[in-house]
Amino acid sequence: MVGTACILVGGAFGLSATSAAQAAATSVSNHKISGNDSAISCMTASRCVAVGYGATSHGQVVVVTNGKQTHVTTVPSTKTLYSVSCPSSAGCWAIGPQNGGANLVLVRIGPAGKVTKALKVAEPFASIGSISCVSMKYCGVLGDNIFVSPAAIEIGTWSGTKLTLHSVAGVKGSTDTVGDGISCWKATCLAVGYYYLKAPNSAGFLLTMNNGKPGKQHTISNDFFYGVSCVSSSRCYADGFSALAAGLVVSVKNGVATHTQMESVDVTGIECVGSTCRASGEKLGGSSYYGVIRTLFNGTNKGTPVVDKAVDGFDGPGTIAARGAGFAAIGPVQKGSGSEVAVG
């Protein structure tokens, strides 16, 4: 299970759709940071936080200032952190499993990017791995429940003190349920993921949630959805890949797919501001993968993809975040250990 990153979108940094569209990057600068970090979110144009785990196999929060590591906080109560969401400059929430226990750990991160508390919260019969916050007191969360058959989707809210979960039955005949990404706009959220059906079939799902209550679920055959980003209460963009081709970005209105843009690479993370989205992914180049970032406008490809061969692929729904008029993306270094932050 991997989680989502900076999911609060649409003017979080005062960026208009027009200026965002003009900000399509053609290159990136890379900065190595410590640990194995798989999700990133930004509080301001200069300050982001990356999460994952460090050398001691404990969760960690890395402060990234203008792309460079400036501070690391180890979180001993968790073995890793899957997902992080920064709704504003006030801070962030990160989420991960307890180290040596069955609880969920929710980590509060302050305005400076440093951990202020780590709360152990019971998550009965569920594995929650994604979080999207619209404020420090309202977040959507997503996971799955493997203790029922077929495995169910678990979706709910985090208030900063209380976790509330709802179970949504999985598709009949599925052999596995994977809830990957969630994005919230005010009280409305869209969750995405996929089902494994009888081989060789699969189905991606789009599940709405309004005021903390799950709504309708729609599925699309042979798709795998990983990342999602909502720019209003009705309009979102999801990405992933097709079992029949390569990557895709799907425009979604009121929980229903309206347009599909096929991609030549697999894309798993997505972050949108207004009508402009950036999808992070990977492409196989010889014996290894390398990172690719694709810019889209109104769900349609714009410009040439950014290729980053310093990164061994951007793989996961939380791998890209809005950073002022630009972005920050996270992935493993191509050679050696540690993680790489790419800013553009």
Give domain status of residue 12, yes or no: no
Q: What is the pLDDT of residue 17?
A: 36
Give domain status of residue 120, yes or no: yes
Q: What is the pLDDT of residue 199?
A: 74
Give domain status of residue 3, yes or no: no
What type of residue is 88?
S
Give domain status of residue 232, yes or no: yes
Q: State the Rg of the chain over Cα.
A: 18
- Band (pLDDT 50/70/90 cuts) for residue 26 is confident
Q: What is the pLDDT of residue 25?
A: 63
Residue 317: burial class (beta carbons within 10 Å; 0-12, 13-18, 19+)? buried
Asked if the model's pLDDT at residue 328 lies above 60, the reply is yes
Q: At which residue do the structure tokens 């990977």 appear? A: 282
Q: What is the mean pLDDT of residues 167-172?
A: 94
Backbone angle region of 260, left / alpha / beta, with phi > 0 → left and psi within -120 to 50 → alpha: beta
The two three-digit tokens of residue 158, written as one number: 């985090």
Neighbouring C-beta atoms of residue 101, cutoff 10 Å: 13
Report angle CA 94, 95, 100 to the nearest 5 degrees: 130
Contact 338, 32 (CB under 8 A): yes
Question: Chain-wide mean pLDDT for the chain?
Answer: 91
Q: What is the pLDDT of residue 210?
A: 98
What kind and span of H or E run contains 285? strand 276-285
Asked if the model's pLDDT at residue 211 lies above 90, the reply is yes
Give domain status of residue 38, yes or no: yes
Residues 80-113: tens digit of each pLDDT? 999 999 999 999 999 999 998 889 999 999 999 9
Give domain status of residue 7, yes or no: no
Q: Give the domain CATH number at 170.
A: 2.130.10.10
Neighbouring C-beta atoms of residue 244, cutoff 10 Å: 10
Query: What is the domain extent for residue 117?
Result: 17-343
Give domain status of residue 11, yes or no: no
Q: What is the mean pLDDT of residues 174-190?
A: 96
Q: What are the distances in angstroms from CA 264 to CA 30, 54, 77, 81, 139?
A: 23, 33, 40, 30, 33
Asked if the model's pLDDT at residue 18 lies above 80, the reply is no
Specify the number of domains making up the chain: 1
Contact 302, 295 (CB under 8 A): yes
Contact 280, 247 (CB under 8 A): no
Q: What are the distances in angstroms from CA 112 to CA 22, 235, 323?
A: 30, 32, 16
Which residues share a beta bridge with 181? 192
Q: What is the pLDDT of residue 139?
A: 98
In three-state secondary structure terms, 172 is coil
Give domain status of residue 1, yes or no: no
Q: What is the pLDDT of residue 6?
A: 36
- Band (pLDDT 50/70/90 cuts) for residue 1 is very low
Contact 118, 74 (CB under 8 A): no
The two three-digit tokens of residue 205, written as one number: 């799902």
Residues 268-281: tens digit of each pLDDT? 999 999 999 999 99
Q: What is the pLDDT of residue 100?
A: 85
Q: Give the sign of the dihedral formed by CA 151, CA 152, CA 153, CA 159.
A: negative
At residue 17, what are phi and psi to the nearest 5 degrees? -60, -40
